[in-house]
Structure 1
C-alpha cells in the first residue's frame, strides 16, 4: 500500500490472516445450524450471519495472500492449509452446543468484533480501513441478534435461564484470547498500521456486562483462560470442523464449477 513500510507486510499479512480465520471458522460453525435451528426464522438468521462472516473471510484471506508474497488466494488459504496453520481464536471454533451456547459465543465475539472493526476503520492501511468500516456495520446487526437472545433466554423460563447461565460459564474462559497482543501486533500498533485489540477489553467487558445484567444473569468470573489458537494450537473439535470445511476440495482437488 502507498506509504506502508515494506517491513510491515509480514506482520500485516498475519493480522489479516488471523481476522480472516476468525470469520471463516465461526462462519463454518454457524453453517452447522442450517436446518437444525430452533425455528425457521433462526435458521435464516444464523445462515445470513454465517454468509456475512464468510464474506469477511474472503476479503481478509485474499488480502493476507497478497501481503505475504505467496500469491495464495482465499480458496488456497481456506482449503489447503492443515489445522496447525489456522490462526483463529479458540472461541470461534467452540462447538455450537445447544442454542444458548451459540448465543453466548455470539455475544462475546460480536461485541469484540464491532469494537475491533470500528478501530480498524481508522487504520493507515486503506484496504483494511475500508473493510473495517463495512464489517463493523454488518457485525453490529449480529450483535443485536445476540443481545436480544441473551436477554430473552435469561428472562425466559427457569430452564432457559439455567442454560444461558451455563453457556456463559462455558464460553467466558475463551474470551481473553481475543485481546491478546504478541510481538507482531505490538509492532503494528506501535507503527500505527493497525490498532491492537488489547485496549478494547474494558469497553467490551462493560458492554457485555450490561447485556448479561439486563438478562438477569451473573457475569462469569472464570478461574482460567484458554489460549493458543493464534499460534495454531486448537481444541480437539477443530479437526473435524476443518475436515468438513475442506471435504469437497479434498475429494475434487482443483475442481471448478
Structure 2
C-alpha cells in the first residue's frame, strides 16, 4: 500500500502546491474576470486535492486525515514537481506555469480514468472537465500575450524560457510510479511526452513564440528534493495548523 500512497502524493501534491501558488494571486489579477477565473481554478485544484488526500488517509488509517496530509508533512515528504512551486514572478510566469502544467495534467487524467483502481479512476473522470477548462484558459492567455504587444510577447517568452527547465520532470517515473504502472493502477507518464510537446508547440506557434531549445533539465521534486521556494510556500500553507494544532472552525 505504501507505493499506492506515494503515487497518490505524486498527483495530489501537484494540485495542492499549484493551488496554493494560484491562491496567492486572489485579489491581484490584472482584471476582475481573470482574477475570478484563476481563483476558480484554485478551488478546482484544491477540490481535487481533497479527494486524493481523503483516499490516501483511508489507506494509511489511524489518525491520518486530509488535513494532516496537507498541513503536517515535512518538505521532503511532498512529492510535487518543481514546476508547480515556482513563484508568481509576474502574470506571464503565472500563466506560463499554468499552461505547461495543464498540458501535462489533462493528458494524465485522460489516462488515469482507465485505472484499475476505481477510486483514482473516479477522481480522474470528475476532474477532466475542470482541467479541460484550465487548459483552454491558459492556452488562450498564452496566445493573447504572445501575439499581443511587444512587451507582452517578450515577457511570456522569457517566462516560458525560464520554466521550460522544469518540464522534463513531469515525465520522470519514481519507483512508486513504476510499481503502480505494473499493477495497472498508475499512468506511464513517459508515454505522455509526445502529446505534451505537440500541444505546447502548436499553441506556442500560434502565439508567435518559440519552444526553448534546452538539453539540461531540473528535477528532484518527485523525490522530495525541492527548490528554495518550497520552504517559504509551506510556511504560509501550514502556518495556521502548526500555530493552532487541531483547530476546528
**For the superposition of Structure 1 and Structure 2, which TM-score range results when normalised by the shorter chain?**
over 0.9
Which residue of structure 2 lines up, in the alignment, with residue 115 of structure 1?
107
Q: What CA distance in whole angstroms lies between the structure 1 residues aligned with 2:174 and 2:232?
A: 28
Q: What CA distance in whole angstroms lies between the structure 1 residues aligned with 2:241 and 2:180?
A: 34
Deviation at 1:184, TM superposition (A): 2.0
Whether the 8 Å CA contact 2:174–2:222 is kept in 1: the answer is no
TM-score computed with the length of structure 1 as normaliser:
0.94
Deviation at 1:25, TM superposition (A): 0.3
Question: Residue 216 of structure 2 aligns to a residue in which SS?
Answer: coil
Change (3 A) 1:250 1:133: same
Q: Point out where structure 2 has 5 or more consecutive residues left out of the alignment.
A: none
Which residue of structure 1 lines up, in the alignment, with residue 65 of structure 2?
73
Change (3 A) 1:119 1:232: same
Q: Please identify runs of 4+ aligned residues in structure 1 that moved more than 4 A.
A: none
1:59 to 33, 43, 51: 51
Once the two structures are superposed, residues 179-215 of structure 1 have per-residue CA deviations (whole angstroms, 9 ceiling, x without a partner) of 1112221221122122221100111100111000000
Whether the 8 Å CA contact 1:113–1:136 is kept in 2: the answer is no
Task: Write out aligned runs for 1:136-215 (5 A).
Answer: 136-215=128-207
Whether the 8 Å CA contact 1:174–1:227 is kept in 2: the answer is yes
Q: Say whether residues 1:236 and 2:195 are aligned partners.
A: no
Which residue of structure 2 lines up, in the alignment, with residue 13 of structure 1?
5
Which residue of structure 2 lines up, in the alignment, with residue 6 of structure 1?
none
Change (3 A) 1:71 1:14: farther
Deviation at 1:70, TM superposition (A): 4.8
Change (3 A) 1:17 1:185: same
CA RMSD of aligned residues (A): 1.1
Once the two structures are superposed, residues 23-52 of structure 1 have per-residue CA deviations (whole angstroms, 9 ceiling, x without a partner) of 000000000101111111111011000000
Whether the 8 Å CA contact 2:26–2:39 is kept in 1: the answer is yes
Whether the 8 Å CA contact 2:174–2:223 is kept in 1: the answer is no
Deviation at 1:177, TM superposition (A): 0.7
TM-score computed with the length of structure 2 as normaliser:
0.97
Deviation at 1:123, TM superposition (A): 0.6
Once the two structures are superposed, residues 129-180 of structure 1 have per-residue CA deviations (whole angstroms, 9 ceiling, x without a partner) of 0111111111010000000000000000000000010010011110111111
Q: Point out where structure 1 has 5 or more consecutive residues left out of the alignment.
A: 1-8
Q: What CA distance in whole angstroms lies between the structure 2 residues aligned with 1:170 and 1:182?
A: 24
Whether the 8 Å CA contact 2:108–2:189 is kept in 1: the answer is yes
Q: What CA distance in whole angstroms lies between the structure 1 residues aligned with 2:201 and 2:60?
A: 38
Which residue of structure 2 lines up, in the alignment, with residue 87 of structure 1?
79
Q: What CA distance in whole angstroms lies between the structure 2 residues aligned with 1:184 and 1:236?
A: 25
